[in-house]
Amino acid sequence: MSRFKEALASDKFLITAAVPSPKGTNLDPFHKGLEALSGLVDAVNLSEARSARIHMGSPAACVIAGNAGLEPIYTLSCRDRNRLAACSELLGVHALGIRNVLCVTGDYFNYGDTPDAKPVYDLDSVQAIEMVRELAAGRDAGGNDLDGAAAFCVGCVANPQADPPEPHLLKLEKKLSAGAEFIQTLDIYDMDAASPFFEKMKGRNIKVLAGVRLVTAREVGLWEKGKLPGNDIPEGIRAEIKGLDDEAEMLQKAGSRMAEMIRQIKNAGLCGGVHLTLDGHEERLRGILEEAGVR
């Protein structure tokens, strides 16, 4: 059993963080980001070409994170692999000691830096979860027997601000029925809009981790160019960020906003934890958690 799966079964308010993999072979910033998260988070997500931008692949990044003492969550993107490649890679990451996987559809290429790439989508995220469960039962994606099963703690993604919510909730139910064991949500900005989702999830035997992003000028710039997938950054936040010329002040305000969101989520008992995105500012996490009254 993975350490993260054990944490999911506890009453602890969990914290996971998405860590950007290196865009190249210089690993120094990646190592520094991992070091900054050490002892503060329950697991780290290593994405697979998040926002359809080329970065180091999730398996290698997971191994590096694991060697740094962190609990890695491998990302399986349906955008990039057919079931043959996906199943083979899952067997490989299991052999490397990785025991957590997040199944995602994958951001489409219009968000990224390689627009000529071609998508695969042989599986959707529900079918990917089912495939992971079949591996645990000792069968591969073709229904063939394996010489040794591969068991993972498998998670999925949800959007508490989906509009309309009904189709999204219907697909989420399919993910849960397929065997998802935890949910990490997209970044939330509107607590009133997101609260009904969290209320629906209460009483379910699954941990939900609410997505919270450190919004800086970089995120605002990407959003304005249509290059930031996920929920819209509210106009008020964008205006505040754009009105600040001093980077230190901007980061301080962004950190306080993140801390306040974490505090609200925890104090309201909305869900079992938070999933944080700091994208290159991991060194600020300790202060943010202290300000939020967490850890």
Q: What confidence tens digit (pLDDT) does each residue in 102-139 have?
A: 999 998 888 888 889 999 999 999 999 999 999 999 99
- The pLDDT confidence band at residue 51, using thresholds 50, 70 and 90, is confident
Classified as helix, coil or strand, 156 is: strand
CB 184 within 8 A of CB 155: yes
pLDDT over threshold 90, residue 62? yes
CB 181 within 8 A of CB 154: yes
In whole angstroms, what is the distance from residue 236 CA to residue 238 CA?
5
pLDDT over threshold 80, residue 35? yes
CA 188 to chain centre: 13
CB 253 within 8 A of CB 214: no
Burial 76-104 (b: 16+ CB within 10 A, else e): bbbbbbebeebbebbeebbeeebbbbbbb
pLDDT over threshold 80, residue 222? yes
pLDDT averaged over every residue in the chain: 95
In whole angstroms, what is the distance from residue 255 CA to residue 152 CA?
33
User: How is residue 135 written in tokens?
Assistant: 């591996």
pLDDT over threshold 80, residue 241? yes
β-pairing, 182-187 with 207-213?
Answer: parallel
Query: Domains along the chain?
Result: 3-284 (3.20.20.220)
Question: Amino acid identity, residue 4?
Answer: F
CB 261 within 8 A of CB 11: no
- The pLDDT confidence band at residue 167, using thresholds 50, 70 and 90, is very high
pTM, two decimals, is 0.96
Higher pLDDT, 55 or 49: 55
